[in-house]
Amino acid sequence: MQLSNLIEEMMQTPSPIRQIMKMASKKNIINMGLNPDEVISYGGGWVGHHSPESLRKKYMEIAGDGQKFYHAGGYSPTLGFDDARRILANFEKKLFNVNAKEENVIIGQSSTQLTYDLFITLANDNDTILLFDPTYANYPGQIKMALKNAKIIRLKVLDEEIWQYESADTLSEKFKEIYEKEKPKIVLFPSPDNPSSQIFPEEFVETISDVCYDNDSFMILDYAYKTQVFGKIPAYFSWNPEDKPHFIGVYSNSKWGRGLGRRLGWVIANVEIINAMERAQQCSILCPDSLHQMALTEYIESGLKDGSIKKYLDEVRNAYKNAAEVTVNAIEEYMDMPCLEPQGGLYTLMKVMEDGNEFVKRVLKNTGVLFIPGEGFGDSLKQAVRISYGPLVENIHVIKEGFKRVAEYLKK
């Protein structure tokens, strides 16, 4: 069987994260002589809290009402329902003071799909795309799929020696230098970040934005973890799409609403980009899911009115902040290894001082504790692992237990 050259090539370089998750499958765990019930995983890049009860009730109301359920079975417009777009713009206004309107919003299946469509909308096949090192592991594969011949360049943002992110000044200088040399068409990064849970400093993000604006490039900010900032909210979280025509925010309800398996994504950007995305989305998914749009619209509308959505987001944020603290404290108590202080999101990065892949395999086989090797996020994490407290947020006591077990094994 002859598959496409592209997919044949991509199958030769499988994601190291998927590989390790396969290695930690129930069957493999049993083959290793371990008890699957005793495995402690810091591997999952997802959230473990519950969706709002009032959102669940909206789904029940729709399913219980023949007329609404019928409506949910119809296609929505490619850009999404007008009232869903309006309510998402309003949500951003109320939470972050973003002055977006319905015309600035396109709703899609997820931020994964929208990011893919953005590559096609904004760049040509042979353009250059700038990613950070480390960064979200899915981007390079998505770029390759969307723009076969694109060149991916990396800006190193982590100082491996001292295990700290570089200062805003250093990052800005390094960015200007690499931009000048490579002229990327798109600069893409998350903030808060996956895998580091760092928030990029305001001056640095402003520098990127200014340089992109002056040179007709685009800056895409992946806001998967926007509602999960533990400290001060950066000023760029409030940028308005019409004031920054080259700036694009990509959003998702995966993380904050625990909607991973029933998710929606949306993009907030200037109208010209939204209209162009409409054409791309006609070809990729035709239109977003109607049922999820209806339930989310009704939930956000009532939740903004009675204040329950803000309360829910505050509670969720505090739960992850607490989980982050428990994780960092356990690493300090049991492991003699440096880690980053999470500023939001679900993760920390621990420097293990040996090949991360080998470390992860060895630890899994001997302790039943799973970390994710850092390499898939960029070369700077070859000797590091990503630790996720996301899935354990409602199971905090387990966090400490895993590190204790690993420390006992490493002492031997």
Collect all residues with Cβ–Cβ distance below 8 Å to 149 and sequence separation of at least 6. 125, 126
- Asked whether position 58 contacts ligand PLP by CB under 6 A, the answer is no
Subset of residues 194 to 213 that bind ligand PLP, contact rule: CB under 6 A: 194
Burial 214-224 (b: 16+ CB within 10 A, else e): eeebbbbbbbb
- When binding is defined by CB under 6 A, the residue of 116, 132, 136, 266 that contacts ligand PLP is 136
| Binds ligand PLP by CB under 6 A, chosen from 190, 201, 257, 342 | 190
Asked if 378 touches ligand PLP (CB under 6 A), the answer is no
Stretch that binds ligand PLP, among 56-64, 213-221, 236-244, 257-265 (CB under 6 A): 257-265
257 binds ligand PLP (CB under 6 A): no
Binding segment toward ligand PLP, per CB under 6 A, in 17-25, 106-114, 307-315, 353-361: 106-114
Q: What's the CA gap between 285 and 272, in Å, rounded?
A: 20
73, 268 contact by CB (below 8 A):
no
CB of 407 to ligand PLP, least distance (A): 28
Give the integer Cα–Cα distance in Å for 408 and 412: 7
Q: Let me know: does 158 contact 165? Beta carbons within 8 Å.
A: yes
Q: How far is the CB of 347 from ligand PLP (least distance, A)?
A: 9
Q: How many CA atoms lie within 13 A of 106 on its CB side?
A: 32
Give the nearer residue to ligand PLP in terms of CB position, either 344 or 402: 344
Compute the half-sphere exposure of residue 138: CA atoms within 13 Å on the CB side of its CA.
Answer: 10
The terminus-to-terminus CA distance of the chain in angstroms comes to: 50
What is the crossing angle of helices 139-146 and 111-122, to 10°?
50
The size of the interface with ligand PLP (CB under 6 A), counted in residues, is 14
Q: Which two structure tokens, joined as six digits, stand for 205?
A: 């993000």
Q: Is 224 in the site for ligand PLP (CB under 6 A)?
A: yes
Q: What is the dihedral of CA 373, 190, 223, 219, to 10 degrees?
A: -150
b vs e for 20-39, b when ≥16 Cβ sit within 10 Å of the residue's Cβ? bbebbeeeebeeeebeeeeb
Rounded Cα distance, 141 and 376, in Å = 11
Shorter beta-carbon distance to ligand PLP: residue 95 or 346: 346
Nearer to ligand PLP, 267 or 406 (CB): 267
Return the residue nearest ligand PLP (CB atom): 252
- Are 26 and 355 spatial neighbours (Cβ–Cβ below 8 Å)? no
Is residue 15 part of the contact set for ligand PLP (CB under 6 A)? Answer: no
391 binds ligand PLP (CB under 6 A): no
By CB under 6 A, tell whether 222 contacts ligand PLP. yes
Residue 227 DSSP symbol? T
Applying CB under 6 A, does 252 fall inside the site for ligand PLP?
Answer: yes
Q: What are the tokens at 184?
A: 């990327």
Joined tokens for residue 85 = 């777009």
- We find the least distance from the C-beta atom of residue 267 to ligand PLP, in angstroms, to be 11
Task: Report whether 104 contacts 269 (CB < 8 A).
Answer: yes
- Report the residue number, 246 or 263, with the smaller CB distance to ligand PLP: 263
Candidate list 196, 197, 207, 254; residue touching ligand PLP; CB under 6 A? 254
For the bound state, the minimum distance from the C-beta of residue 9 to ligand PLP, rounded and expressed in Å, comes to 23
Closer of 29 and 120 to ligand PLP (Cβ): 120
What's CA 152's distance to the chain center, in Å?
19
Q: Least CB distance from residue 252 to ligand PLP, whole Å?
A: 3
Our CB check for ligand PLP shows the closer of 45 and 368 to be: 45
Q: Is 111 in the site for ligand PLP (CB under 6 A)?
A: yes
The answer to whether the beta carbons of residues 371 and 42 sit under 8 Å apart is yes
Q: Which is nearer to ligand PLP, 29 or 105 (CB)?
A: 105
Member of 265, 303, 344, 374 binding ligand PLP (CB under 6 A): 265
Whose Cβ is closer to ligand PLP: residue 135's or residue 297's? Answer: 135
Contact set with ligand PLP (CB under 6 A) = 45, 110-112, 136, 190, 194, 222, 224, 252, 254, 260, 263, 265
